Amino acid sequence: MTKSKFIETQAIHAGRINDQQFGSLATPLYQTSTFIFDNAEQGAKRFAGEEEGFIYSRLGNPTTRQLEMRVAALECMEDGAATATGMAAVSGALLANLSAGDHLISSKAVYGCSFALMSHMLTKFGIEVSFVDMSEPNNIVTAIKPNTKIIFLETPINPNLQVLDLEKILGIAKQFDLLSVVDNTFMTPVLQQPAKFGADIIVHSATKYLNGHGDVVAGVICGTQEMINHIKLTALKDIGGTISPHDAWLILRGLKTLPIRVERHCQNAQQLAEFLETHPSVSKVYYPGLPSHQGFKYLGNQMKAAGGVIAFELNTDLAGGAEFINRMKLFSIAVSLGDAESLIQHPASMTHSPYSDEERRDAGISDSLIRISAGLENVNDLIADLEQSLNAVKCVDTKVA
């Protein structure tokens, strides 16, 4: 196909491998563990890298390859590697590029399992990690050491939706010759393309918006062809966190509607955030689409829209927050985000439970913080569900400044 500059077209056609034998419109599902060689010599050549072709699905698969090429095109990157989970994408990108004695700088608040990987696992193998408040980019410069190798960040940050300045932070990475890794799960390439600001590696939990239907657990890493080959031939090949062909096939199907789904997620989230900001039971709303949010200034430049995730504080205690969640009727009490269904969860006790109480406070994740993922339902039904539960909240004096 002719290359298009429009993401709606790329989401359907980028990376497409035409089925020469049968002419299938839908991407064929190659549900196979291994591939047959014509002869022993061909097998030897493929293992030696002297001939292109598939060997074993952990090393590559035609269905998986289309997913990798499509997401890479959406992210304006040369190549991609599909992984079994979002955490396999994060760990694969880091483990392939860090050695004992190296130093990693991460944004202070990140997804709970990313935090656990960096603070508990990497340090076991002699990798030093510093968690930095990147809302002031100069804090990164202060934290850089002679052994610093990677800067890792999310923006907006999970779960408090703080927006970081990609241009400044990635500029610092280039200035000091550091590798930059950006988790772009919350925004998707529809709303934000970190490569345009100089990101070296982009990771996704494809479980979320890329798939969009709550029936897959997967991840994707994007980067240069050289970097992706390095990650595939080290961390992914030898640790084995690669995706199944069936999951890749499901995500390819989901990607076709990604742009229109993201548009509806954003529309619903904007109206929900505006409603929440006016309700007396809510003390603070964290959503970049609100002028009161520090990330609002990045809309139209770094971010095309504010996304589908909202966080907010209730004027109540921990028990009141649990009661509020339990009273929801349409919202499903579940972690994850980006599904057709609207989801609600309590980060302190769920997604960010790997943090200690002190670490959570330091990262700005309070006991009363609630996170919702706006789904694709009619927004009036979603507002009604929030309203009926908020009206029953027993308010206490816990206002957030």
Q: pLDDT digit string (tens) for 46-69?
A: 999 999 999 999 999 999 999 999
Pairwise CA distance, residues 10 & 123, whole Å: 40
User: Could you give the CA distance from residue 103 to residue 93 in angstroms, rounded to a whole number?
Assistant: 15
Amino acid letter at 209? Answer: Y
Pick the catalytic residue from 30, 46, 58, 200. Answer: 58
Residue 166 has pLDDT above 80, yes or no: yes
Tens-digit pLDDT profile for residues 210-233: 999 999 999 999 999 999 999 999
Nearest to 283 by CA among 159, 368, 352: 368
pLDDT exceeding 90 applies to what percent of the chain? 80
* Chain segment 89-135, per-residue pLDDT in tens: 999 999 999 999 999 999 988 988 999 999 999 999 999 999 999 99
Active site (annotated) includes residue 208: yes
Q: How confident is the model at residue 363 (pLDDT cuts 50, 70, 90)?
A: low
Task: Label residue 397 by pLDDT band (50, 70, 90).
Answer: low
The answer, yes or no, to whether residue 401 has pLDDT greater than 50, is no
User: Residue 298: pLDDT above 80?
Assistant: yes
- Whether residue 209 lies in the annotated active site: no
Neighbours of 39 (CB within 10 A): 8
The active-site residue, picked from 111, 209, 287, 298, is 111
| Whether the model pTM is above 0.85 | yes
pLDDT of residue 394 exceeding 90: no
| 317-337 residue pLDDT tens | 777 888 899 999 999 999 899
Q: For the chain, give the mean pLDDT.
A: 92
**326 vs 356, higher pLDDT:** 326
Q: Is 232 a catalytic residue?
A: no
What confidence category does residue 353 fall into, taking pLDDT thresholds of 50, 70 and 90? low
- Residue 265's pLDDT band, with cuts at 50, 70 and 90, is very high
Q: Give exposure, 257-293, as e/b (b: 16+ Cβ within 10 Å).
A: bbbebbbbbbebbbbbbebbbebebbbbbbbbbbeeb
**Gap between the Cα atoms of 140 and 165, Å rounded:** 12
Assess whether 58 carries a catalytic annotation.
yes
- Residue 354: its pLDDT value, please? 65
Structural domains of the chain ordered from first start: 7-30+61-255 (3.40.640.10), 258-390 (3.90.1150.10)
**What percent of the chain shows pLDDT beyond 70?**
94
* The one catalytic residue among 79, 102, 165, 183: 183
Q: How far apart are CA 25 and CA 17, in angstroms?
A: 10
